[in-house]
Structure 1
Amino acid sequence: MQLRKGTNIRELRVLSLFSLDALAIYLAWYFAQSLSTPWSIFWTTDNPVSFLPILGIELGVLASGGFYQSGESRRNYAGLVRALSIANVLLLLTAYFYQPSQFISRSHFLFFWCFSIVLVVGARFCIDQGLIMLRQRGLIRYSVMLIAEPQELDPARQMISREDRYNLVSILDARSLDVNLRYETFKSIQDKGVAEVFITWSVIKDRLFLCWQFQAAGIVLHVIPVGLEALFQACQFWSIGKLPALSFSPPTITGKDFWIKRSFDICVAGLLLMLLFPLNLLIALLIKLDSPGAILYRQVRIGLHGKTFKVWKFRTMVENAEQFQTRLEAQNEMKDGILFKLKDDPRITRLGSFLRRTSLDELPQLINVLLGEMSLVGPRPLPMRDVEKFSENHFVRHEVLPGITGLWQVSGRSTITNFEEVIRLDLTYIQNWTLLLDLEILLKTLKVIFRRTGAY
């Protein structure tokens, strides 16, 4: 019974979409036939049998493109336009080779191409919007179950809720799949009428053979990569020897891209150092008058490929500030303790507070950019104290030059209190880098600085 329930839902979805597309294609051909230049057409809506080849070609192209599968593929409207365009070209070629010596109405195929796109895409868009409205009211949702380790429950729930089409009816831990509890787990799934189950990768990686049991019960099994979301954003799914495989491309900031970015950094950093020289002199004088100590502050940070370097900053704290940090660790506002952030840090001087809010304390790092130790944009370089608390997946941020600013700074700055969110932003930047993205982040940084949001 459970097998039929899960299967019937999928079959009903495919049949509905198939029928809707067939109707839209029929109407598109009918309208094109009515408006175009008359010709001795051998495919006509007046004869349903002769119209079947048109449906076969159009629907076959859509099916091969995955537009009858669940998820985002059927809502890929740009992909639908491409598929319908390819199908229309195939129809035109078929008509030409079938009747090479007869007149073929080009206006007919032009009208059909336009009408098919408008009707097919329009119908699917209306259906999707209707489904969204119904799901917002709690209707047409799939009952699902989640099986995850305790530490993965919250991120897994968030992943499922973002889809906005599931009703999470039960949550179990990994032990529910142990041999002695497995029968009760499958019985619970069937009793609750669940057709789809979500399992985190850490739960299933040692129990891959269980996939067969879920499939035999007619249950769709989704394995979600909790904790590896940023990594899987850069992968491609393909087949090798008829077996599924994932390909991970290297970061884009390599080779000629690196030298394009490096040339941009040198030009901009050199220009800014010349233009901002009077401002730097003024800040240096004010620091000297405000509190005793050096004007510039140099701290060891971890940079490209894990190599250490000394980052330059205007001093914003009292002397021997690092020695006082151990006393303040208990007040750290970062949830995981990797970074140290304290809003009302008693070590910050009066002028230092202003310099931090305006990010003027970072200006000497333009020297680090010229020396090739940093970039204008990239993941922020962190002190040894923070890096020593890294997990294995955190070190990927060291595969590119650290930056004065980055996605972290323009997406919340110090208001972000979860280092995993910082890592996600860093990886998003690395995987999607373009020179235009660097310019965009630099402009957003200026906006954040003028608003003085999230900095302390």
Structure 2
Amino acid sequence: MTHTVDRGYPWQIAGSPGLELQRARSRPTEWATTFSRFVTVSDGLAVLAATVSTHLIWFGFQRVPVAAPIEFGIDYLFFSAGLMLAWMVALSVSGSRDTRILGTDSTEYRRVVNSTLLLFGSIGVFAAMTQTDLARGYLLTAFPLGLGILLASRWGWRRWLHVRRRRGEFSFRVLIIGNSESVRELATSLSQRPDAGYRVVGALVTDGTSGSIEGVPATRVTRNTLFARLGESTQDTVIVVGSDDLDAAAINELSWRLDAGQQLVVAPQLVGVAGSRIHTRPVAGLPLIHVETPSYDGAKRFAKRAFDIVSTSLLLLVLAPIFVVTAILIKLTSPGPVFYRQERIGMSGEPFHILKFRSMVVNADSRLAALLAEQGNGSTPLFKVKHDPRITPIGRIIRRYSIDELPQLFNVLAGQMSLVGPRPQVDGEVRLYDSKASRRLAVKPGMSGLWQVSGRSNLSWEDSIRLDLYYVENWSVTSDLVILMRTAKAVFAHDGAY
């Protein structure tokens, strides 16, 4: 490390940052470095397990040479070792173990998937260019097996990290700088999501007075006293949020004043926009933030439909015994049909009939208004009756584990619904939409969605609309996979189901 000799220059006086560029480098905190190493070892074991298993499946303990026009003297044992090394390099280069994304949103999973796709795609292109006859079965086995183990291990580490973060551990210590209202909003949001890994330890406000905001000590500062106050907190992350007093020059100066290992984050006033849609690009020397327009057509829609068809077909085959047993139990324990049909509103406002296993007595719909009136919620959209007397004994069981919704797989196969999407609503609810809420109809309704994994029946009308709009405006194949994994947990835990 180089040091700047103090010779009394003006920029070396009164705590100026000097020219020690090492101070401006951002190094992860100790816990982040440790956790990243854990994930690296886990990735290595996952790749090792996938390649060794694939090699044993296809070649056993034999040394089979790779067929190529030119004799390289390479066998599949050597190829497997090279694949493991290349896979680990690809995961590292893609930034999939960046401490800023580990355990947060779908970015981590997306980088794992993209790096794996790029690696195997490159191997295929190289084999075609060199006319090397690689065993296709080997690659077709190693790819899904390795990717599946990698994603499962990352999910496991994420669950472990979230548990620790809810205990107040393994989190970035955050100092928020901005006006009082912006600080309050951000502090509240971060406190509601401890698994995000940002624990607020203090705030510097540019208006009002010193005191406490949402239980966080807040100190009133001016532009002149801001930098002197930075060293009074134990933060490793500084977040700047809406304040007219902090212009570009002040933020740039702030980045120089931070100690090594501290990171500076600027929170733009973009609410409800997923990180995958936000890109910062330098234009004319200015760091402009580009927000991608929500896209529902082209390759993304084709990929979503293909995923729905393949996954639904497999689920129908696997779940066939549950269909049969459930149908028999419903027929034996309650008079009436096995299935329940109800009109719902689909994409572009097109009505369709949703299919469910019947979990209530016959003519249950005619009693709904009276039950809602009894509970004082007759005018509340999306309200569901708790301890509903219309539900049959078998109905309570199948609703608890969402078995009643399995017939909707046929709606998905017919193209009326998707596995993941906004909640399918009835005509009366859709009539309450304003122009913003009507964007829910831009995509197909889903069997599951953000509403399913965020409280289900416990959600208010406003929360349901907010979550559905967020999904519509930010959906991707990767986010669908994440929601489906969270759905499995919510179903088995029967969170918010009644």
In the superposition, the TM-score normalised over structure 1's length comes to 0.51
Task: Map Cα deviations across residues 202-232 of structure 1 (whole Å, 9 max, x no partner).
Answer: xx7xxx7x7669959x899997456714356
Shift of residue 359 of structure 1?
1.2
| Map of 2:148 onto structure 1 | none
Q: Distance in 2 between matches of 1:10 and 1:342?
A: 64
Give the superposed CA RMSD. Answer: 5.5
| Map of 2:446 onto structure 1 | 403
User: SS of the counterpart of 1:11?
Assistant: coil
Give the residue type in structure 2 aligned to 1:190: T
1:167 has 2:214 as partner = no
| Map of 1:148 onto structure 2 | 181
Aligned residue among 8, 11, 14 for 2:17: 11
Q: Distance in 1 between matches of 2:266 and 2:428?
A: 35
Q: 1:143 to 1:410 in 2, by over 3 A?
A: closer
Q: 1:369 to 1:191 in 2, by over 3 A?
A: closer
User: SS of the counterpart of 1:344?
Assistant: coil
Shift of residue 376 of structure 1?
2.1
Q: What percentage of aligned pairs have identical amino acids?
A: 31
Aligned residue among 297, 301, 323 for 2:369: 323
| Map of 2:78 onto structure 1 | none
Q: 1:396 to 1:232 in 2, by over 3 A?
A: farther
8 A Cα contact 2:437 2:465, kept in partner:
no
Higher CA-based Rg = 1
Shift of residue 373 of structure 1?
0.8
Aligned residue among 337, 343, 357 for 1:314: 357
Q: Distance in 1 between matches of 2:176 and 2:324?
A: 65
1:351 has 2:394 as partner = yes
| Map of 2:222 onto structure 1 | 190
Shift of residue 357 of structure 1?
0.9
1:372 has 2:415 as partner = yes
Give the residue type in structure 2 aligned to 1:167: G
In the superposition, the TM-score normalised over structure 2's length comes to 0.47
Q: Superposition pairs for residues 35-74 of structure 1, below 5 Å? A: none
User: SS of the counterpart of 1:230?
Assistant: coil
Task: Map Cα deviations across residues 344-363 of structure 1 (whole Å, 9 max, x no partner).
Answer: 23343322211101211112
User: SS of the counterpart of 1:340?
Assistant: coil
Q: 1:369 to 1:391 in 2, by over 3 A?
A: same
Q: 1:159 to 1:349 in 2, by over 3 A?
A: closer
Q: 1:232 to 1:441 in 2, by over 3 A?
A: closer
Q: 1:400 to 1:417 in 2, by over 3 A?
A: same
More helix by share: 1
Structure 2, unmatched stretches of 5+, are: 1-9, 28-98, 102-107, 109-167, 209-218, 228-237, 256-263
Shift of residue 155 of structure 1?
4.0
8 A Cα contact 2:327 2:338, kept in partner:
yes
Shift of residue 149 of structure 1?
7.7
| Map of 1:455 onto structure 2 | 497
Give the residue type in structure 1 aligned to 2:373: R
Greater displacement, 345-354 / 241-250: 241-250
| Map of 2:55 onto structure 1 | none
8 A Cα contact 1:415 1:454, kept in partner:
yes
Task: Map Cα deviations across residues 368-415 of structure 1 (whole Å, 9 max, x no partner).
Answer: 112211112333323345445557655554433222123543465446
User: SS of the counterpart of 1:17?
Assistant: helix
8 A Cα contact 1:253 1:433, kept in partner:
no
User: SS of the counterpart of 1:287?
Assistant: helix
Shift of residue 199 of structure 1?
5.1
8 A Cα contact 1:301 1:383, kept in partner:
yes
8 A Cα contact 2:420 2:484, kept in partner:
yes
| Map of 1:260 onto structure 2 | 303
Task: Map Cα deviations across residues 149-188 of structure 1 (whole Å, 9 max, x no partner).
Answer: 8995764674999644651255968xxxxxxxxxxxxx96
Q: 1:321 to 1:364 in 2, by over 3 A?
A: farther
Structure 1, unmatched stretches of 5+, are: 22-70, 79-134, 174-186
Q: Distance in 2 between matches of 1:232 and 1:19?
A: 24
Give the residue type in structure 2 aligned to 1:17: R
Q: Distance in 2 between matches of 1:193 and 1:400?
A: 51
